Structure 1
Amino acid sequence: MRRCTPDPASLILLLLGLLPVLLADEFLGQLPAPENVKIHSYNLEKELRWDPVRVLDDRPTTYTAQYKYFADDDDEYTDLCVNVTQTLCDFTEEVRDTWKVILRVQAQQGDLTSNWVQTPVFQATKNTILGPVTSLTLSAYKEEHYSLYVTFQDPLRRQHRWTVCYNLSYWMKGSDQKQTKPTFQTSTRLADLKPWTEYCVEVTVFTQDITGEKSETVCAQPTGPALTTGGSIALFVSVAGLCIVIAGISYVMYEHHAIIKSWLYAPLQIPVHIQQYFEDHNDLDHEEESESKPAEANSDHVSVVEIEVLQESSHTFPEDSSLSEKT
Structure 2
Amino acid sequence: MAPRGWQCLICSCLFWTVHGMFPEPQNVRIHSVMLDSVLQWDPPNFHKENVTYTVQYKKFHHQYIDLCQRIYITECNISSIPMFGLSTIRVRAEFENKTSNWVDITFTSLKDTNIGPPAVQVEAHKPGVLSVQLTDPFFIRDDGKLSLHDLYGTVIYRLLIWKKDCGGEQVRNENMTHTFQIISGLDPGTAYCLKAQAYIEGLQKTGEWSEDYYIRTADSTDTGINPVQLTVILLSVLILVSFCCFIIYRVYRQTKFVFFPSYSLPQHFKEFLSKPSYSSQFLPSLSQEDDAYDRIMVIPEEPKDGHNESGEQLSNTKMQLQKFQEETLMPKDISNCTLLEQP
User: TM-score, normalised to structure 1's length?
Assistant: 0.51
8 Å contact from structure 1 (residues 66, 103) kept in 2: yes
Aligned position for 1:116: 102
State the aligned residue count.
199
Q: 1:179 to 1:106 in 2, by over 3 A?
A: closer
Task: Compute the displacement of 1:114 (Å).
Answer: 1.3
| 2:58 alignment partner, one of 39, 64, 68 | 68
Taking the aligned partners of 2:77 and 2:222, their CA distance within structure 1 comes to 60
Paired residue type of 1:106: R
Taking the aligned partners of 2:208 and 2:178, their CA distance within structure 1 comes to 17
Aligned position for 2:130: 148
Q: 1:227 to 1:203 in 2, by over 3 A?
A: closer
Paired residue type of 2:100: S
Alignment of 1:15-54 (within 5 A): 26-27=18-19, 29-53=20-44
Taking the aligned partners of 2:30 and 2:47, their CA distance within structure 1 comes to 28
Q: Deviations over 1:160-190 (max 9, x none)?
A: 33334321123555454424131342x4432
User: TM-score, normalised to structure 2's length?
Assistant: 0.49
| 1:77 alignment partner, one of 42, 61, 64 | 64
| 2:175 alignment partner, one of 176, 181, 193 | 181
Q: Deviations over 1:270-300 (max 9, x none)?
A: xxxxxxxxxxxxxxxxxxxxxxxxxxxxxxx
SS at match of 2:117: coil
8 Å contact from structure 1 (residues 167, 183) kept in 2: no
8 Å contact from structure 1 (residues 100, 123) kept in 2: yes
Aligned position for 2:199: 206
Matched, 1:196 2:196: no
5+ unaligned residues in a row in structure 2: which ranges?
1-12, 224-343
Aligned position for 1:162: 151
Aligned position for 1:218: 213
Structure in which a larger fraction of residues adopt strand: 2
Q: 1:117 to 1:178 in 2, by over 3 A?
A: same
Aligned position for 2:272: none
> After the TM superposition, which segments of 4 or more aligned residues of structure 1 sit over 6 Å from their partners?
none
Task: Compute the displacement of 1:116 (Å).
Answer: 0.8
SS at match of 1:214: coil
**More divergent stretch after superposition (188-197 vs 43-52):** 188-197
SS at match of 1:162: helix
Paired residue type of 1:48: L
5+ unaligned residues in a row in structure 1: which ranges?
1-20, 229-327
Alignment of 1:81-96 (within 5 A): 81-92=68-79, 94-96=80-82
SS at match of 2:55: strand
Structure in which a larger fraction of residues adopt helix: 1
Task: Compute the displacement of 1:201 (Å).
Answer: 2.0
Alignment of 1:241-280 (within 5 A): none
Taking the aligned partners of 2:206 and 2:18, their CA distance within structure 1 comes to 49
8 Å contact from structure 1 (residues 66, 104) kept in 2: yes
SS at match of 1:213: coil
